Structure 1
């Protein structure tokens, strides 16, 4: 048995960075490094209270789209928007200057 048994013959595996770049382009992320940092560190950036109810969805043209689990959280985020944008700026620089809030659809 070798470490390469699952790799089709003649086709080397794609580097993880290439795979991530393709995924981020499909998700319409504008700056891959900032997007990775933002999405992977979301809970640490915004704190548990917000992260429990708000999920980042897309970063495109400096607009961060987030999804909230309840309309009340959409209202709460509107009040916290300038503070949240300031916090995001500390972590990802000028990559985010607008917040777009969507309420998650329930079944």
Structure 2
């Protein structure tokens, strides 16, 4: 069956602008003081691309809250090395996300 005629009411519904769920969640988290942006999950999914394979094979993100990112490190040698690289890593993460998501990285053995 072929329908002909006006679809204006359904077209109007389709043309309404929608808000992305990540923006709704970001506003909700911010209003509740949770300090987490849904886009922060890209830190986990893109970790190797952000920090490179050598670092990614010895360190992984654990949690983020209010701009503080905790990273678990495989051993004390890498813990010390990454403390020296913290500023560079913060800049790389923020550049990757396109916003200032991370202010400080806390490195821990784990």
- TM-score, normalized by length of structure 1? 0.67
- Aligned equivalent of 1:46: 51
Provide the residue aligned with 2:92 in structure 1. 87
Q: Gaps (5+ residues) in structure 2?
A: 1-20
Superposed CA RMSD in Å reads 1.8
What secondary structure does 1:94 align onto? coil
| CA displacement 1:42-69 (0-9 Å, x = unmatched) | 0011000100000000011100000000
Q: Which of these two proteins has the greater Rg computed from alpha carbons?
A: 2
> For 1:21-36, what aligned pairs fall within 5 Å after superposition?
30-33=36-39, 35-36=40-41
TM-score for the superposition, normalised by structure 2:
0.66
In structure 1, stretches of 5+ residues that fail to align are 1-16
1:67 is matched with: 72
Q: In the comparison of the two structures, how many residue pairs are matched?
A: 79
Segments of 4+ in structure 1 off by > 6 A?
none
1:103–1:66 CA distance, 2 compared to 1 (3 A) = same
